[in-house]
Structure 1
Amino acid sequence: MHVLKFLPFLLPTALASLEVAQRSTTACNNSPSLCSKTYGQITHLGAHDSPFVRDSTTDYSTFGNQYYNTTVQLSAGVRLVTGQVHKNNNEWHLCHSGCDYLDAGTLESWLSEIKTWLDNNPNEVVTVLLVNSDDASASDLNTVFKAANITSYAYTPSSTGAVATWPTLQELISSGTRLMTFIASLSDNTGATYLMDEFTYIWENPYDVTSASNFSCKPDRPSDVQGNTAAALSSHRLPFMNHFLDQEIGIGGIEIPDVGAISTTNGQNGTGNLLTAADTCKSAYSNRQPTFILVDFFDKGPAIDVVDKLNNVTDATGRTAVPNTNSADTSGTTTSGGTFVGLTDLVNEAKTGANPSLGNWIWVGGDWVTIFGGGISI
């Protein structure tokens, strides 16, 4: 009798306690501790040129920036994926510099892959950054996004300019707007306001780095804050830290990812290491950590460990380890003589009478110094 009498008073308290307990165990972007943080407060790990994979499907192209596809990246903890948009046969494709070199397929197909992942991971917020190399209009891109059926996830900003405070991850998840979309660059997003012009909301440090000692925290883009950290911070734009190292291969200024240094570049020790660079930039930004860190070969280092340190995450959950990590590194892409497998395959194609393009020869060339020293007999 007495329990029943007080039940109406006890029930709300019990339900509230249950809700708090559920919130404390629900992970947002793989951690319960991130749910209450705003989108701009945390650091999101980014896979540079996400769809451009260095594996057998691309003849181990030395211009590939990742060893695993976008689905694997996202499942392992990546939350920012970038790609380059080009027009190819009247379709919008993801191509590395040009579609004659490395074509990762249509933008629609890639967005559909991301949409499927979002469907299966309802507590995750993902950011897409597209480099708009061939000036696709907002209408062009919106058509592709709609075809991929992903626009229902898209976040639309409350302001047409940079804002001081973004929604929390939990707010984005609860509202179902778990896809943040930036375009570099988009002068007019009329009719598709979820497509955010990158440099309206973001500023970047330099990205063309070929020496491990030359990483810099200084703003580089957009031009109105170039070299001026104070101006960049006061603009309320989100800090974007590029941290990938290239090497010049001596043919017309061509640069490829410096795979030989990747464990240091994405690691926590040595010249140009990610942890030191991130801590240096956080200090330079008045103790504000970079909102995004963009790396090549995200699984090396591994880069996610540095991002966890920045986010004070010690309770990461729900991540899927990358498959067969050791088989994906550069040791699996070369022959015993040091020649890239992709180049050997291309030579075999030529022997059968095929006529590979000049672009294909360049993009699978591998270590040109070694090749020119000995080469392959056709």
Structure 2
Amino acid sequence: MSWKAYLALCAFSLVLRPAHAYGIARSSTPCNNSPSLCSRSYDNVTYLGAHDSPFVRDASTSYSASGNQYYNSTVQLSAGVRLLTAQVQLQGSALHVCHSSCDLLDAGPLSTWLAEVRSWMESNTNEVVTILLVNGASASVQELAQQYEAAGITTSLAYTPTGSDAQSQEWPTLQSMIDSGKRLVNFVDYIGDNSDAPYIMPEFSYIFENPYDVTSASGFVCGINRPPSENGSTPTQVIAQGVMPLMNHFLYQDIGLGIQSPDVDAIDTTNAPDGGVGSLGYSASQCSEQYGRAPSFLLVDFFNVGPTIDVADRLNGVSSPVGRTSAPA
């Protein structure tokens, strides 16, 4: 064989071999909308979160004052949100996602909402998503697991931790989670023994939160509010143990009779990527300085205002995100 023929054959074989054999796909394919995040461990990324994700303020709910978002969970995910929170309540004997009470705002069965998330993830295979449930129904792990099974999540997507708490858990990279297919991380604030469904993780074994019941722009602080057992500790102490910080940043107003509602009149300031006291950008900078690292999660109302995703990108060092579909302002 001549040298020309040999070189031509080598070139042809390079075309046939998959790009990932040379590391090309891994460096150019985005994870959570950016190739730069693929090599980072799950706990070393900042995720934008939609507070009370299923509770929408639009025509479908008659623009309910209990709605915390203008667009549904599918739109949130497509726009870059990677943490979805929801409240679980009892509707009769069934587990629904309801805002405080199913008489107030009922977004339907928990399994239906979980199936919506699963459907989006099946169409977006390079994304790692986190769900955090507030267990207002005091449901058991077994009852919650039934909802995950009904949604078709347990065997296909749910990530199971390697350690029972933050100190023993070694988080994989986003790329390895995507490669394994186990890329939906699930937390519940208060649950009992989860040995029957270890993919349903007790939130406060891995996460701490700053205060969430804030009614003035000056009320946003970075200290530990939950779990109560850590109230006497500093954020840097628990972060040193591997616990991830979740930064609540949503403003409420009293509307009478002890009822609070999202303060939509102040939302442009609350969700501003830049600005002074009360803005998301300011609070994120303050908490990053106090924590010695960026928050793992930024939890906001009306995520598309701001837009809040700009703050998460800045904390992640992402300048050119790809694959997002922005929701209208």
The two structures have a TM-score, normalised by structure 2, of: 0.93
CA distance in 1, matches of 2:244, 2:127: 20
Percent of counterpart pairs with the same letter?
A: 52
Q: Structure 1: any 5+ residue segments left out of the alignment?
A: 326-378
**1:334 equivalent in structure 2:** none
The answer to whether the 8 Å contact 2:89/2:136 transfers is yes
Per-residue deviation at 1:150?
1.2
CA distance in 2, matches of 1:115, 1:16: 28
**1:128 equivalent in structure 2:** 131
Out of 255, 265, 280, which is 1:274 matched to?
280
The 3 A distance-change label for structure 1 pair 250 and 139 is same
The 3 A distance-change label for structure 1 pair 44 and 8 is same
Per-residue deviation at 1:154?
0.3
The one-letter code sitting in structure 2 at the alignment partner of 1:138 is: V
Paired residues for 1:1-378 under 5 Å: 1-2=2-3, 19-151=22-154, 152-163=156-167, 165-227=170-232, 228-251=234-257, 253-267=258-272, 268-286=274-292, 288-323=293-328, 325=329
Alpha-carbon displacement from aligned partner over 1:272-303 (angstroms, at most 9, x marks no partner) = 101111011111012x1000000000000110
The answer to whether the 8 Å contact 1:49/1:65 transfers is yes
CA distance in 2, matches of 1:162, 1:279: 24
Larger radius of gyration: 1
CA distance in 1, matches of 2:164, 2:20: 39
Greater share of helix residues, 1 or 2? Answer: 1
The answer to whether the 8 Å contact 2:189/2:202 transfers is yes
The answer to whether the 8 Å contact 1:39/1:169 transfers is yes
RMSD over aligned CA atoms reads 2.0
Q: Structure 2: any 5+ residue segments left out of the alignment?
A: none
Per-residue deviation at 1:5?
5.5
The 3 A distance-change label for structure 1 pair 15 and 83 is closer
Alpha-carbon displacement from aligned partner over 1:93-151 (angstroms, at most 9, x marks no partner) = 00110111110100011011001000100000110000011111111011110011011
The one-letter code sitting in structure 2 at the alignment partner of 1:142 is: A
Classify the secondary structure of the residue corresponding to 1:293: strand
Per-residue deviation at 1:234?
2.3
Classify the secondary structure of the residue corresponding to 1:154: coil
The 3 A distance-change label for structure 1 pair 3 and 166 is farther
